[in-house]
Amino acid sequence: MSVPALQLEGLKKSFGKAEIIRGVDLEIGRGERHAVIGPNGAGKSTLFNLITARFAPTEGKVRLHGEDLSGLQPFQINRKGLSRSFQITNIFPRMTVFENVRCALLWAQGYRYSFWNLVNRSRQLTESTDAILDQINLSERRDLPAGTLSYAEQRALEIGITIAGGADVIMLDEPTAGMSHSETDYITELILKVTEGKTLVMVEHDMGVVFNLADRISVLVYGEIIATGKPADVRGDPRVQEAYLGEALETEQ
Amino acid sequence: MELILVNLIDGLVTGLLLFMLSAGLTLIFSMMGVLNFAHASFYMLGAYFAYQISIALGFWMGLLIAPLIVGIMGAGVERYGLRRVHQYGHVPELIFTFGLALLIEELVQFIWGKNQMPYSVPDVLNFTAFAIAGNSIPAYKIFMIFISIAIFIGLLYILTRTRVGMIIQAALSYPRTVEALGHNVPLIFMGVFGVGTALAGVAGVIAGPVLGTFPGMAFVLGSIVFVTIVIGGLGSLWGALVASLLIGWITTFAKSYNIAMSDILNGIGIPSPADLDTSAFRDLWTVTSPQIADILPYILMVMILIFRPQGLFGKRQS
Amino acid sequence: MKKIVKLGAVSALSLIVGAASAFAADIKIAFIDPLSGPFASTGTNGLHQFEFAADYMVNQQGGVLGGQTFEVVGFDNKISPKESLIQLQVAIDQGIRFITQGNSSGVANALTEAIDKHNRRNPDDRVLFLNYAAVDPALTNDKCNFWHFRFDANADIKMDAITDSIASNQEIERIYIIGQDYSFGKAVSAAANRFLSEKRPDIEVVGDELHPIGKVKDFTPYSRKIVASGADAVITGNWGADMLGLGKSIIENGFDGPIYTYYAAGSGITAAFGETGKGAIRLVSEGQINPPPTDEAAAYYQAFKAKYPDGNIDQSRISNTIGMLAQAIEAAGTADDVVKVAYELAGMEYESIWGGKVFMREEDHQAIQDIHIQEHTDEGITFTYDGSDYGVRSMKRIEMASMDSPTTCQMKRP
Amino acid sequence: MTDTNVKDPARSKEQITTDPSKPAQRMGAGSMTLTLTPWLIGAVLLAILPFVFTSNSALTIMNQMWITVIFALAYNMLLGQGGMLSFGHAVYAGVGGFACMHIMNASDFFASFPLPVLPIFGGLFGMGLALIVGSFSTRSAGTVFAMISLGVGELIAASSVIVVAFFGGEEGISGDRTYAMPFFGNEFLQQIDVYYLISFWVIVSAALMYLWSRTPVGRMANAVRDNPERAEFLGYSARWVRFYSFVASGFFAGIAGGLFAINYEILTEENLNTASSGIILLVTFLGGVGFFFGPIIGAIVFTLVQTVLSLETDLWAFYAGTLFVATVMFFPGGLAGLMMMHVPAFKLGKAGYLVRPYIRTLIPAAIGTLGLCALVEMTFHVRHAATGDTQMTLFWIPFDSHAILPWVIAAAIALIGLGIARATTPALRDAWNEANTAGDRS
């Protein structure tokens, strides 16, 4: 079996005395679409933050394509091919939509900290930016400050920024939070489109989205994964039913 | 030995004076997240108002009334100035207070002119309290110590024993939660700003007679107050106290004892260069501690910021 | 947008330059000193003294060269060397040929070099620099030039006088020297050590230190050391708030000997010292104020007081400056050819209304005059300072102080 | 033309006003074209200005202006583009200048290259210092950065009087620019020669700084300013992005310092102290941090206030302070922001709507403000002038400041002027909304 894209080994995190993540082991294969679900306060976002080194873990390890990520800074992890979005919209509000995406492309296209290249002289840069804008359907908003977009558009832009760098592991933190039905459908569609062939890890509340998108699901409750498996298996797992899903699933069916 | 005691007392006076300024500043910072550059300007206003009042009504009325006026002015500045700028973000807020400091200095010069004011110690306190080995300790210094300590105790009482204090305390740690709990946060802001500036006013009233009442008095003290709260840890009242005393004593002792850089360097095994007069480092070698006493706090601050950015007692990273 | 702003700037520029040259005064003197900011009080007071001197001593006497009047034009240099150079250029452009400045040796140094260069590069509109108060000895030694004239006694001359006074007082055995940490403070310290070891080798210098300039909030620790050292007298070159802070602190902390100073009078300092400084503060300066040396001086001071009741004449050399300039212009027969005026000024002997003579040494353009040690007191004071009851009274006069002092000046003359 | 007052509500309500509270919003937005036109206009203007103002003092003031322009632009690389608030930036310009001064005094070396090259050395030294300080100060932005900059600034300024060997103490270091190798026969004896040297460097530095803002690291500086965390998750270390901006800013500040050395031939403690650092902050903010050209306007306006207004009134600093505080409170976008607010109206071709309301409001407001200033000046005169000196001159009118009539007149002018302005403000506001509303009404 090939090396999993993402591998968590005994990951733990405490804030003071409160243990938020209490030992998580998880393997996510290449090209898999994996969803992490769980009730509020289960530690889903914390788990995300541990993987992307926003927080340092108290114990345990994260491996990306088999490589240990301990001690690396977020930007270093990103360079290794892991990109994430945020639960709260996290874009560059004062820059244009176009520039938001272009910034996300700079490192991946090898511009690094250069000050001898002019960004708008590079046709390749402009073209790939426009291609991504096209993908996320924001071409018309190209030159508006990102802060003036509607909420759904900002979420779409957030996803665009996340995938722009060409990372092969994409982590989305509640991409449809706070959206209407039609918006949710639009974003789900978008995620399916842009993560084609990539590893996707997402935290999501909307079960519709989860079951539409995910190949496998992990259920996180009180900092522990109580179940991992195919959507159908998880749905049938009595512990999951008990802990979390029961009601939600009934309404779903 | 006696000199050490005398220096301890002198350093205490300086430190406590600094504390009265930094306490208000750190409270304001914790609540509103804004470093008030004009804080020392309110200190200056306190001294000038007290001088003006003392001409007509005597020193004690000045001590009573001037801080009130300063506090009201401070609250006004928050209400009509800072609150407006708040919406633009923290940097404009900081710049606003910076501009305010310039403006207040100009205003003071406009009203009182540019000379030093003959604001002096009241006659009741103009005697030597006691002397240690020929060094007289003026009664006024003892008075300053008592006032500062009384204010510190009062502040501590309000913060830990009263309802308002509880809210403020909570706001120090969880500013947003307090707002969510439905307290009138703008009013608390205005109040804290008013009280903070009034404290600076008190400091001005009692420092004016000994340190001089002149248009440059705010500038001399301005940045050192920042240094104090940064060293103590932004938002920490205890940190402000410890840092104030630390700075008070460090500067006092550095001035009192002629420690030469050449001695230190020789002490750690670096010999003086033979051609000292022509050496490029000659100035480094001839530095003495009194020369650099007043810039020591800045060195301390930079060191602290590099190695412990949250300050001595700070909990939150800014 | 840029264009519009530039256009505005342009019109404003032409406005000032044009407007300023529109006034037709005969002989103008540019007074470049701080008129705003922390040192403005000293500068403004100096300007008043200059304006008054020009009016009283020249214009009311019918002017020079058969009716030409003096006008003193104030330029605010904010005590910044950079601003001084800008204002110098503005002054030169307005056709002003006489520049005067006094506050800060740093500024004087910048001005004297700039004027030297200007005169070298622009022989058609040369100017003279009348330095009325910057006392750094270097200005009439290593850094001297033909265009610079100093009407005040320099720091060394004053220290010579102070140490004369100390030397004659056998009760003084221990001296403490303290000053601001910059060129002037260091010059004072060096001169004090030099003169003391010459005149009274038995005097022990028990302390000699510098403190940061303008940064000290509380002088108590310094005064503790002074008291603890058992010094009989203190010498300091401090000025402004540093002077007041130091002096008050020394006295309040139990020191009861004399404090010899350069700048402890006027500008609010006398009033602020008040009773505290009585009997302790000694001031070295040229020009005797109390008791009034001559009837002319008394009349002059009274006329000044009538005009500026809050003002002080704490720089009697200002009237000497105006008087000597007038005399030199008269003798040269022109106010336009500054080289001629400069040659007249050099070597001039002038009868001062403040008593005694002023002699402008030819070799270094340093004025030699009587120097007084004055004390801060409220007894026997005819003319008080700062509207207080206090003033300075002459205790000791040193005639033509340092007449033969050496100079390293090597002047190039045109 | 028949139904002028019928409007289509759906269309006319589409407002595209720039939000004045977000000045930097438009920074880098659009206008990415590297058009040469503004630069050519600038260069031509710089070239012909000396023919308009021939006096040396005008040249001196303009030299000061252009040096401030470079310095302010360099400062804005931090504040406007990188979101770093520095309270000690004067030290980089100062150290660059001091280094140039020492080079000027090293006569053999100095005589071997032409003067116009000298500012590069200033830049390198400024950059060197920025490298050292930036290595620890740029780890975080915000308060920590601001406080380190304050501390380092104070330290270097304080050491300037202690380390006499390099800084020359209070007198500073002076030299003579004419000892350089003649540059095409020019020894830079006259102000006009220096003027063109500085003008050349202004264009070059401004262009380079503009281009910098268009490079990957320059763009990322904006990204880090807006959202350092997000930038980290894009593969960029916020710290290193800040570091590069800081070092570049130090370089251009050093160039400004080098030009200062050439122009004034003296550097003193004043070039390093906190007051200078504060002034450059003031200049930059006044001009507007949100636009590249903002600091240019700020530098020009402030230099005029400082050198020209201070000739007219002792209270110049009071007015400058008031102007500054008013700017922060009401126009946080600065003067540039104020100008750019009008761009939408121009784009809509409706700027003409604003002309008359502006005249109706701003002219009375200006007159009223002058009336207020007159009151202030008179108060100042009464308080601080010599007794018996009751004559004063304001706006070329001599009068007696102790008489009642001038006070009444000034107060009346102030009241009436500001009153009219207040009364006409609603009309201006309507016109403003109208001018910024797409869709036509006429």
pLDDT of residue D25: 38
C390 touches chain B (CB under 8 A): no
Which of D46, D68, D311, D346 has the highest number of chain C CBs within 10 A, making it the mutation to test binding with C? Answer: D311
H/E stretch holding C282: strand C281-286
Q: Quick: pLDDT tens for C229-286.
A: 888 999 998 887 788 888 888 888 888 889 999 888 877 788 888 888 888 889 998 8
CA angle C160, C164, C169 (to 5 degrees): 150
Q: Quick: pLDDT tens for B167-181.
A: 877 766 666 677 777
Q: How far is it, in rounded angstroms, from Cα B77 to Cα B88?
A: 16
Asked if D74 and D66 count as a contact pair (C-beta separation under 8 A), the reply is no
| Beta bridge mates, A59 | A12
The two structure tokens encoding residue C223: 């005064």
The answer to whether chain C touches chain A by having 3 or more C-beta pairs less than 8 angstroms apart is no
Name the residue facing D339 among C1, C14, C109 (closest C-beta): C1
pLDDT of residue C150: 93
Tell me which chain D residues have a C-beta less than 8 angstroms from the C-beta of A49.
none
Asked if C110 and D174 count as a contact pair (C-beta separation under 8 A), the reply is yes
- Chain A residues with CB within 8 Å of chain D CB: 52, 54, 73-75, 78-79, 83-84, 86, 90-96, 99, 102-104, 106-108, 111-120, 143-145, 147, 161, 165
Q: Do B211 and C269 touch (CB under 8 A)?
A: no
The two structure tokens encoding residue B188: 């608390």
Instruction: Tally C–D CB contacts below 8 A.
Output: 159
CATH classification (class only), C156-291+370-398: alpha beta
Identify which of B63, B14, B55 has the alpha carbon closest to the alpha carbon of residue B205. B63
Q: Quick: pLDDT tens for D258-316.
A: 999 999 888 988 889 888 898 999 899 999 988 899 999 999 999 988 877 877 777 88
Q: Do B211 and C217 touch (CB under 8 A)?
A: yes
CATH classification (class only), D34-340: mainly alpha
Question: Taken in order D138, D142, D144, D145, is the CA torsion positive or negative?
Answer: positive
Asked if B109 and B215 count as a contact pair (C-beta separation under 8 A), the reply is yes
How is chain A split into domains, by residue range?
A: 6-252
pLDDT of residue D3: 39
Which of D59, D161, D164 has the highest number of chain C CBs within 10 A, making it the mutation to test binding with C? Answer: D161
- Tokens 């920590």, located at residue: D144
CA separation, residue B21 to residues B43, B138, B201, C133 (Å): 8, 22, 9, 38
Segment D321-327 mean pLDDT? 88
Tell me which chain D residues have a C-beta less than 8 angstroms from the C-beta of A84.
233
Q: Do B223 and D154 touch (CB under 8 A)?
A: yes
Identify the DSSP state of C371.
E
**How, if at all, do strands D173-174 and D266-267 pair?**
antiparallel
Q: Which residues contact C197 (CB under 8 A, 6 or more apart)?
A: none
Q: How far is it, in rounded angstroms, from Cα A214 to Cα A207?
A: 10
Q: What b/e sequence results for B163-185 when a residue is b if at least 16 CB atoms lie within 10 Å of its CB, and e otherwise?
A: eeeebbbebbeebeebeeeebeb
The two structure tokens encoding residue C315: 């720089």
- Superfamily grouping for domain A6-252: P-loop containing nucleotide triphosphate hydrolases (3.40.50.300)
Name the residue facing D281 among B95, B295, B305 (closest C-beta): B95
pLDDT above 60 for B42 = yes
Segment A158-164 mean pLDDT? 89
How many Å from the N-terminal Cα to the C-terminal Cα in chain C? 50
Q: Quick: pLDDT tens for B124-143.
A: 887 777 877 777 788 888 89
Identity (one letter) of the amino acid at D261? A
For residue B165, the distance in angstroms to the closest alpha carbon of chain C comes to: 33
Q: Quick: pLDDT tens for A47-75.
A: 888 988 888 888 888 999 888 888 888 88
pLDDT above 70 for D110 = yes
**Where is pLDDT greater, at D401 or A23?**
A23
Which of A72, A79, A97, A115 has the highest number of chain D CBs within 10 A, making it the mutation to test binding with D? Answer: A115
Three-class DSSP labels, chain A: CCCCCEEEEEEEEEECCEEEEEEEEEEECCCCEEEEECCCCCCHHHHHHHHCCCCCCCEEEEEECCEECCCCCHHHHHHCCEEECCCCCCCCCCCEHHHHHHHHHHCCCCCCCCCCCCHHHCHHHHHHHHHHHHHCCCHHHCCCEHHHCCHHHHHHHHHHHHHHCCCCEEEEECCCCCCCHHHHHHHHHHHHHHCCCCEEEEECCCHHHHHHHCCEEEEEECCEEEEEECHHHHHHCHHHHHHHHHHHHHHHC
Instruction: Tally A–D CB contacts below 8 A.
Output: 118
Name the residue facing C211 among B216, B253, B290 (closest C-beta): B290
The two structure tokens encoding residue B307: 């190695």
Identify the DSSP state of C412.
-
Asked if A187 and A179 count as a contact pair (C-beta separation under 8 A), the reply is yes
From the number of C-beta atoms within 10 Å of its C-beta (0-12, 13-18, 19+), residue C380 rates as exposed
Q: How far is it, in rounded angstroms, from Cα C166 to Cα C172?
A: 7
Q: Model's pTM, two decimal places?
A: 0.85
Q: Do C213 and D57 touch (CB under 8 A)?
A: no
Segment B28-54 mean pLDDT? 88
C65 backbone dihedrals φ, ψ, rounded to 5°: 50, 40
Q: How far is it, in rounded angstroms, from Cα C62 to Cα C66?
A: 7
Residue A167 binned pLDDT confidence (cut-offs 50, 70, 90): confident
Segment B59-73 mean pLDDT? 92
Q: Which residues contact B182 (CB under 8 A, 6 or more apart)?
A: none
Q: Quick: pLDDT tens for B67-107.
A: 999 999 999 999 998 888 888 877 888 888 888 998 998 88
Helices (H), B273-312: 282-285, 289-292, 296-307
Q: What percent of chain B has pLDDT over 70?
A: 93
Asked if C240 and C39 count as a contact pair (C-beta separation under 8 A), the reply is yes
Identity (one letter) of the amino acid at B210? V
Tell me which chain C residues have a C-beta less than 8 angstroms from the C-beta of B294.
211-212, 215-217
Name the residue facing D158 among B87, B234, B295 (closest C-beta): B295
User: Regarding the domain delimited by C2-154+304-369, which CATH topology (the fold level of the hierarchy) does it fall under?
Assistant: Rossmann fold (3.40.50)
Identity (one letter) of the amino acid at A10? G
pLDDT of residue C93: 85
For residue C398, the distance in angstroms to the closest alpha carbon of chain D comes to: 30
Q: Quick: pLDDT tens for B246-277.
A: 999 998 888 888 788 778 888 777 777 777 66
Asked if C132 and C100 count as a contact pair (C-beta separation under 8 A), the reply is yes
Strands, E assignment, C140-264: 148-150, 174-180, 204-211, 233-236, 259-261
Asked if C350 and C57 count as a contact pair (C-beta separation under 8 A), the reply is no
Q: Quick: pLDDT tens for D35-88.
A: 788 888 889 999 888 888 888 888 888 999 999 999 999 999 999 898 898 989
D84 touches chain A (CB under 8 A): no
Do C2-154+304-369 and C156-291+370-398 show the same overall fold? yes
Residue B280 binned pLDDT confidence (cut-offs 50, 70, 90): low
Taking the mean position of all CA atoms in its chain, how far away is CA C214? 19
| Residues with pLDDT less than 70, chain C | 1-25, 37-38
Q: Tell me where in chain D the CATH 1.10.3470 domain(s) lie.
A: 34-340
pLDDT of residue B317: 46
Computed over every residue of chain D, the mean pLDDT equals 83
| Beta bridge mates, C369 | C358
Cα atoms in the Cβ-side hemisphere of radius 13 Å centred on A178: 10
Q: How far is it, in rounded angstroms, from Cα D126 to Cα D118?
A: 13
CA separation, residue D25 to residues C64, D21, D285 (Å): 65, 9, 15
The two structure tokens encoding residue C370: 């009587």
**Where is pLDDT greater, at D419 or D250?**
D250
Tell me which chain B residues have a C-beta less than 8 angstroms from the C-beta of D20.
none
Q: Which residues contact C369 (CB under 8 A, 6 or more apart)?
A: C153, C286, C287, C317, C320, C352, C356, C357, C358, C359, C400, C401
Asked if A118 and D215 count as a contact pair (C-beta separation under 8 A), the reply is yes
- ipTM score above 0.90: no
Question: Taken in order D269, D274, D279, D280, is the CA torsion positive or negative?
Answer: positive
Q: Which residues contact A106 (CB under 8 A, 6 or more apart)?
A: A112, A119, A125, D216, D219, D220, D234, D235, D236
**Which residue in chain D is spatially nearest to C41 when comparing CA positions?**
D384
Q: How far is it, in rounded angstroms, from Cα C12 to Cα A14?
A: 66
The two structure tokens encoding residue D12: 């006319």
